[in-house]
């Protein structure tokens, strides 16, 4: 486990299946995860079973975010497109709505950045954020991520098309 006095980042466990099933099937979250259809419980169970595989095999890593004090699971942080040769990976974070604006996402992101750079030896992390997702933009910018690109009209929404912003963080030398 990776922890500080605010949050604990831990591996996905079988006990998380019900929670992941709920979150992955929450249509309000689909736009940020590029999901277009529901997941079955069997799919979630297979995912959890395979989550124990090595990050070098799967090229991804999901860690659950628990509160340090209560031990309640409040979100998850995902590393994807892990590329050990180029020492980079994509990053996303999701926090249950009732736990937002309490500093938990910030604490989790700080922990994960330290883990990615100091343990995995990555040189850079990147994230893709919808231009209208102000809380995520503020979170990643507060951790030193800088805007490096704009994908024009990249995301189809119910209101039309929206830009997606590409942010990057390089390891400090």
Q: Residue 56 is part of a domain; what is its CATH number?
A: 3.40.630.30
**Which range marks the domain in which residue 48 is found?**
2-127
DSSP the chain: -EE-SSEEEEE--GGGHHHHHHHHT-TTTHHHHT--S---HHHHHHHHHHTTS-HHHHS-EEEEEEETTT--EEEEEEEEEEETTTTEEEEEEEE-GGGTTSSHHHHHHHHHHHHHHHTS--SEEEEEEETT-HHHHHHHHHTT-EEEEEEEEEEEETTEEEEEEEEEEEPP-
Average pLDDT, the chain: 88
Q: Examine residue 87 and state whether it is found in any structural domain, yes or no.
A: yes
Query: What is the total count of domains within the chain?
Result: 1
pLDDT score at 30? 56
Q: Examine residue 170 and state whether it is found in any structural domain, yes or no.
A: no
Q: For residue range 119-142, list pLDDT tens digits in order.
A: 999 999 999 999 999 999 999 999
Q: Examine residue 25 and state whether it is found in any structural domain, yes or no.
A: yes
pTM (2 decimals)?
A: 0.86
């Amino acid at each position: 486990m990776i922890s500080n006095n605010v949050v604990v980042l831990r591996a996905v466990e079988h006990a998380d299946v019900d929670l992941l099933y709920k979150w992955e099937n929450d249509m309000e979250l689909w736009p940020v995860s590029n999901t277009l259809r529901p997941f079955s419980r069997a799919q979630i169970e297979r995912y959890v079973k395979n989550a124990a595989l090595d990050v070098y095999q799967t090229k991804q890593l999901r860690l659950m975010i628990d509160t340090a004090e209560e031990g309640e699971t409040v979100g998850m942080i995902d590393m994807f497109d892990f590329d050990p040769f180029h020492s980079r990976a994509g990053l996303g974070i999701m926090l249950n709505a009732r736990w937002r604006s309490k500093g938990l996402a910030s604490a989790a992101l700080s922990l994960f950045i330290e883990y990615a750079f100091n343990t995995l030896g990555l040189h850079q992390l990147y994230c893709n954020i919808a231009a209208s997702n102000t809380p995520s933009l503020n979170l990643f910018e507060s951790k030193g991520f800088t805007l490096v690109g704009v994908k024009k009209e990249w995301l189809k929404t119910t209101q039309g098309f929206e830009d997606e912003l590409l942010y990057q963080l390089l390891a400090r030398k």
